């Protein structure tokens, strides 16, 4: 009988412009409280900072750190390159912008076999090292931030549509294939779709927590949100299962608030001869930006353990997430992604 807690584990990590975070991320992997053999394969994209220097130092310090080059720098390509050169029966996707809890591997593998799943994921525990990053992290945890997905705000343990990062049985890649390299983002959701279509389980375990450090500049956050929206729109074009009613809410919000702001400008210029119906419509539209602003204030005040400065920053964080995502989603849904990049990462 196989002892699941002694199986070798291959961690795969796509890396691009992560000099400030890479060492801590890798050390959190190598320091896992797990009895089995470990290796971590870093797929190095064409970074413009000192990421490659940090990666080379880590590889010299520990033979379990292996490097593979990913000249195109795209996440799914890097993941596939890393998986193909790795050797162990358990494959765990990790992120250079995150840190694993010490028990992450042991708990994840236990869950994988306990529930007979082929992919297991947990909570993305967003954290911050400065006030803006902490404000973004709080917004990520809020159901008003990223739509309340289980891996952001939590949910009971059970079957899931997708998994954050992912703990896999290696044979699943032989059965359903690797990450779709045409998807610059959201490739994890598409892989999970194929796993589910093959009759296997994708599982959410809230006890699995991964510390994640979000963008710490408004511009980078906006660029990430736009790219995420574009690729979610592309998914909804390709796959009926990729569409959800919650994806329509941000675009409706943008249209409503935009028309509402226009209504505030037009209303004073209306004459007494203007149609009553027009006046009623404008008054109704004027409520949209007021309602949105009220929701932002409510979500900000609901943020737990935040300072006054962080709350003030959150007032800008929510629109910086919502509006670029909504515009990107409409673009991706109507015209396709067309190779859209997250310019917050590509410098």
- Summarised one tens digit per residue, pLDDT across range 61-90 is 999 999 999 999 999 999 999 999 999 999
- Of 105-119, 245-259, 330-344, least confident by mean pLDDT is 245-259
99, 214, 216 from 344: Cα distances, Å: 20, 11, 10
Q: Are 19 and 25 in contact (CB under 8 A)?
A: no
CA–CA distance, 345 with 347 (Å, rounded to integer): 6
Number of other CB atoms surrounding residue 282 within 10 Å = 18
Say which residue, 40 or 241, is predicted with more confidence: 40
The residues with which 203 forms a beta bridge, in sequence order, are 120, 159
**Residues 213-219, mean pLDDT to the nearest whole number:** 91
pLDDT of residue 344: 62
Say which residue, 240 or 58, is predicted with more confidence: 58
- Give the percent of the chain with pLDDT over 90: 60
CA–CA distance, 228 with 167 (Å, rounded to integer): 22
Residue 240, token pair as written in the block: 């009926």
13, 14, 17, 255 from 73: Cα distances, Å: 12, 8, 10, 35
Q: Where are the domains of the chain?
A: 4-216, 237-335
CA–CA distance, 167 with 207 (Å, rounded to integer): 14
CB hemisphere CA count around 281 (13 angstroms): 9
Q: What is the pLDDT of residues 165-212, one digit of tens each?
A: 999 999 999 999 999 999 988 899 999 999 999 999 999 999 998 888
pTM for the model: 0.86
pLDDT of residue 236: 85
**Residues 101-124, mean pLDDT to the nearest whole number:** 95
Q: Are 225 and 115 in contact (CB under 8 A)?
A: no
Say which residue, 259 or 49, is predicted with more confidence: 49
Is the confidence at residue 289, as pLDDT, over 60?
yes
**Residues 320-334, mean pLDDT to the nearest whole number:** 91
The CATH code that applies to domain 4-216 is 3.90.550.10
List, in order, residues 6 or more apart from 19 with CB less than 8 Å away.
Answer: 47, 49, 50, 51, 53, 54
pLDDT of residue 274: 61
**Residues 215-241, mean pLDDT to the nearest whole number:** 89
CA–CA distance, 250 with 254 (Å, rounded to integer): 6
Q: Which of 129, 200, 128, 131 lies closest to 163 in space, CA to CA?
A: 200
Is the confidence at residue 241, as pLDDT, over 60?
yes
20-48 as b/e, with b when 16 or more CB fall inside 10 Å? bbbbebbebbeebebebebbbbbbbbebe
pLDDT of residue 1: 46
Q: What is the pLDDT of residues 143-170, one digit of tens each?
A: 888 765 666 666 788 999 889 999 999 9
Q: Dihedral sign, CA of 187, 214, 119, 43? A: positive
3-state secondary structure of 91: strand
Number of other CB atoms surrounding residue 182 within 10 Å = 13
- Of 96-105, 256-265, 319-328, least confident by mean pLDDT is 256-265
Is the confidence at residue 138, as pLDDT, over 50?
yes
Q: What is the pLDDT of residues 8-54, one digit of tens each?
A: 999 999 999 999 999 999 999 999 999 999 999 999 999 999 999 99
**Residues 85-112, mean pLDDT to the nearest whole number:** 95
Whole-number average pLDDT of the chain = 88
């Amino acid at each position: 009988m196989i002892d699941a807690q002694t199986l070798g584990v291959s961690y795969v990590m796509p890396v691009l412009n992560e000099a400030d975070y890479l060492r801590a991320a890798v050390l959190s992997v190598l320091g896992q409280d797990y009895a089995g053999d470990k290796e971590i394969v870093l797929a190095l994209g064409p970074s413009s900072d000192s990421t490659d220097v940090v990666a080379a130092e880590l590889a010299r310090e520990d033979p379990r750190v292996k490097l593979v080059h990913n000249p195109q720098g795209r996440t799914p390509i890097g993941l596939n390159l890393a998986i193909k050169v790795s050797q162990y029966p358990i494959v765990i996707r990790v992120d250079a912008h995150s840190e694993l809890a010490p028990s992450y591997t042991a708990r994840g593998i236990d869950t994988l076999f306990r529930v007979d799943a082929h992919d297991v994921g947990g909570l993305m525990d967003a954290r911050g090292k400065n006030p803006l990053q902490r404000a973004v992290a709080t917004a990520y945890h809020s159901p008003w931030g990223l739509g309340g997905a289980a891996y952001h705000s939590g949910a009971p343990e059970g079957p899931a549509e997708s998994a954050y990062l992912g703990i896999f049985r290696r044979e699943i890649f032989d059965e359903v294939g690797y990450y779709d390299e045409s998807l610059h983002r959201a490739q994890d959701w598409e892989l999970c779709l194929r796993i589910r279509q093959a009759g296997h389980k994708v599982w959410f375990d809230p006890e699995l927590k991964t510390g994640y450090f979000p963008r710490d500049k408004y511009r980078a956050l906006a660029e990430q949100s736009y790219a995420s929206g574009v690729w979610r729109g592309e998914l909804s074009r390709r796959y009926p299962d990729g569409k959800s009613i919650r994806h329509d809410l941000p675009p409706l919000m943008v249209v409503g608030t935009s028309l509402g702001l226009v209504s505030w400008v037009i209303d004073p210029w209306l004459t007494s001869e203007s149609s009553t119906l027009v006046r009623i419509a404008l008054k109704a539209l004027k409520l949209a930006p007021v309602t949105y602003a009220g929701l932002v204030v409510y979500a900000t005040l609901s943020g737990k353990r935040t300072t006054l400065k962080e709350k003030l920053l959150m007032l800008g964080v929510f629109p910086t997430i919502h509006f670029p995502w909504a515009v990107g989603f409409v673009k991706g849904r109507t015209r396709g992604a067309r190779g859209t990049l997250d310019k917050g990462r590509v410098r």
